[in-house]
Structure 1
């Protein structure tokens, strides 16, 4: 009887903790995403809750594709302070054609990306990735081109948006990130 009561108490405590964890997860991080060119799926809340994020819609065959290098520099500069860049490849603007394997090669091998890259996704419309649906709800802005950048604070709110033409290592973007750390 005493053992059963202990097990019940432990189970109740774990269930309550899990509920509190999921209840406190920002909407933008509620859900799972598959990693680029992989079968591995991650829980966004588990991985990124409480971090400052720069969410970027990417494309591997765009004039802005070299920004991968600067995004990686940004990621390396601030990752120890609770910051992460997250890339979401998309062919919405017809510049991420071919296979996910090809996109992954460009990201990982050609540009040395170590920050999380999610599976290719759609940015708007009925099939939009839930992360981008939430971004659009919060910011009232949808990506107008590849490499649009959305700064998300630790509470999961969009606090700034940056067009494709904004360099990831620009003073403006770096200052905005530093204000959120």
Structure 2
């Protein structure tokens, strides 16, 4: 089992590596996203938080998944859609599975740390503190702006 969040790497839509080791001493918010989901409007809130707090130490990582059959067919279409409709500038990985046999190791780790079992739907969010510890797992229906104070608290703990 991987010891901490800093051991993980993802591949961004543009092919660059998202290396969590580069996020030491930063607050990280990991979210499984889907462009065609009814909750996709949360992308605007995520972008708002990213823009507002990135310089203070917040990193938002979007992980598109078609596991719930609400994502576009290709990484390129997903990337274009998120940028065009929601103004997303935070890093987005290539599409990945969040449950099951081929699930992303990052999600296996986060689910284990949260003790909440499988991801039930798109927009499950994981807040990680500056030390790399999972602070909280938020349900898909919990809008990102509703836990903005939790993010501020973690930023100020640094």
**How high is the TM-score relative to the length of structure 2?**
0.90
* 1: CA distance, partners of 2:41 / 2:109: 27
The match for 1:139 is 114
* 2: CA distance, partners of 1:156 / 1:126: 25
Deviation of 1:39 (Å): 2.3
**Alignment counterpart, residue 154 of structure 1, candidates 118, 125, 130:** 130
* 2: CA distance, partners of 1:50 / 1:26: 17
Whose relative contact order is higher, 1 or 2, with alpha carbons under 8 Å and at least 6 apart? 2
Deviation of 1:53 (Å): 0.9
For residues 155-181 of structure 1, what are the alpha-carbon distances to aligned partners after superposition, in whole Å with 9 as ceiling and x for unaligned? 1111111111111112xx111111111
Number of residue-to-residue matches in the alignment: 153
Structure 2 gaps, min length 5: none
Provide the alpha-carbon RMSD of the alignment.
1.6
Structure 1 gaps, min length 5: 1-24
* 1: CA distance, partners of 2:62 / 2:6: 14
More helix per residue: 1
Contact 1:52 1:153 in 2 (8 A): yes
Q: Specify the structure having the higher radius of gyration (Cα).
A: 1
